[in-house]
């Protein structure tokens, strides 16, 4: 069942990807460009963005720090001056493993600033535009780590849970205004963030495969887009367990 207006024809559409210097963001920007979209890419690394723009004719690099509200608004205004924006995808992310025995409040706040507050700044910049047009699409990249608490995810998991709730609430408020909202929950994707993991990651896929899953989800009008399903369906099933079962199962599966 389509919960959003399906997005199937990207020719002439304007898209903005925040966090597009590598990983899922860059791969999705490439996939959208290959289907005819006008692509704006943002991240902190100007060299990476410039390299993307050089490889993709017509793409525009807009370097910014997602944690700086002023730079986010300035980038959005630059896009609006070229015409209407059709889709924004927030894919900026930060991850360092952490357990309660090594609690670091500055690391916790760093996760919050990049993974969640940056998304709020982007929403602040684009929502009036979308509401005024009664059109547009907001994509938020969360994670299966946001479904339930997981070991070593003390900094990361809560921010991804916040994005899940944010996406659900946005959908409730915007569904009658023809503004789409998608909540994207990947499992393990081979990115610079997951490269930190020292364990075998089940169901690991490439950023390019992740990008194709996202585009397929948008084409079907899905609200939640999760992949790879051979892994994420297990995570969804585990999330439904009562706490009395969930915690022992997670301990047994992870050994932590």
Domain with residue 72: its CATH number is 3.40.50.720
- Domain carrying residue 150: 14-254
Helix axes 156-174, 118-133, angle to 10 degrees: 10
Q: Given this model, what pLDDT does residue 201 score?
A: 67
- Is 19 within the bounds of a domain? yes
pLDDT tens, residue by residue, 145-188: 999 999 999 999 999 999 999 999 999 999 999 999 999 999 97
Q: 214: Cβ–Cβ under 8 A, 6 or more apart, which residues? A: 24, 28, 31, 139, 184, 225
Separation CA 51–CA 9 (nearest Å): 26
3-class DSSP assignment, residue 180: strand
Q: Given this model, what pLDDT does residue 48 score?
A: 96
pLDDT tens string, the chain, 256 residues long: the values are 899 999 999 999 999 999 999 999 999 999 999 999 999 999 999 999 999 999 999 999 999 999 999 999 999 999 999 999 999 999 999 999 999 999 999 999 999 999 999 999 999 999 999 999 999 999 999 999 999 999 999 999 999 999 999 999 999 999 999 999 999 999 978 777 777 777 676 778 999 999 999 999 999 999 999 999 999 999 999 999 999 999 999 999 888 7
| pTM exceeds 0.85, yes or no | yes
Of 116, 121, 156, 171, which is the active-site residue? 156
- Is 2 within the bounds of a domain? no
- Is 1 within the bounds of a domain? no
- Is 43 within the bounds of a domain? yes
3-class DSSP assignment, residue 142: coil
Q: Given this model, what pLDDT does residue 189 score?
A: 83
- Is 156 within the bounds of a domain? yes
User: Does 90 participate in catalysis according to the annotation?
Assistant: no
- Is 229 within the bounds of a domain? yes
- Is 7 within the bounds of a domain? no
- Is 163 within the bounds of a domain? yes
What HEC string does the chain produce? CCCCCCCCCCCCCEEEEECCCCHHHHHHHHHHHHCCCEEEEECCCHHHHHHHHHHCCCCEECCCCCCCHHHHHHHHHHHHCCCCCCEEEECCCCCCCECHHHCCHHHHHHHHHHHHHHHHHHHHHHHHHHHHHCCCEEEEECCHHHCCCCCCECCHHHHHHHHHHHHHHHHHHHHHHCCEEEEEEECCECCCCHHHCCCCCCCCECHHHHHHHHHHHHHCCCCEEEECHHHHHHHHHHHCCCHHHHHHHHHHHHCC
Pairing of strands 14-18, 38-42: parallel
Q: Given this model, what pLDDT does residue 202 score?
A: 73
Total number of domains in the chain:
1
């Amino acid at each position: 069942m389509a919960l959003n207006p399906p997005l199937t024809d990207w020719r002439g559409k304007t898209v903005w990807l925040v966090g597009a210097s590598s990983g899922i963001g860059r791969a999705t920007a490439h996939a959208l460009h290959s289907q005819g979209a006008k692509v704006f890419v943002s991240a902190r690394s100007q060299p990476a963005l410039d390299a993307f723009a050089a490889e993709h004719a017509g793409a525009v690099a807009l370097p910014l720090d997602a944690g700086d509200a002023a730079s986010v608004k300035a980038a959005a205004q630059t896009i609006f001056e070229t015409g209407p924006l059709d889709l924004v995808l927030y894919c900026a992310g930060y991850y360092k493993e952490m357990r309660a025995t090594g609690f670091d409040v500055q690391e916790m706040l760093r996760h919050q600033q990049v993974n969640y507050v940056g998304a709020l700044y982007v929403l602040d910049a684009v929502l009036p535009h979308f509401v005024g047009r009664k059109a547009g699409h907001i994509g938020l990249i969360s994670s299966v780590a946001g479904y339930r608490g997981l070991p070593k995810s003390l900094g990361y998991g809560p921010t991804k849970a916040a994005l899940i709730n944010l996406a659900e609430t946005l959908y409730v408020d915007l569904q009658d205004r023809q503004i789409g909202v998608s909540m994207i929950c990947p499992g393990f994707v081979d990115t610079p963030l997951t490269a930190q993991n020292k364990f075998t990651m089940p169901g690991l896929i490439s950023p390019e495969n992740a990008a194709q899953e996202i585009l397929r989800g948008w084409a079907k009008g899905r609200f939640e887009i999760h992949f790879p399903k051979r892994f994420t369906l297990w995570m969804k099933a585990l999330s439904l367990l009562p706490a009395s079962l969930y915690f022992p199962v997670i301990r047994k599966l992870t050994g932590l």
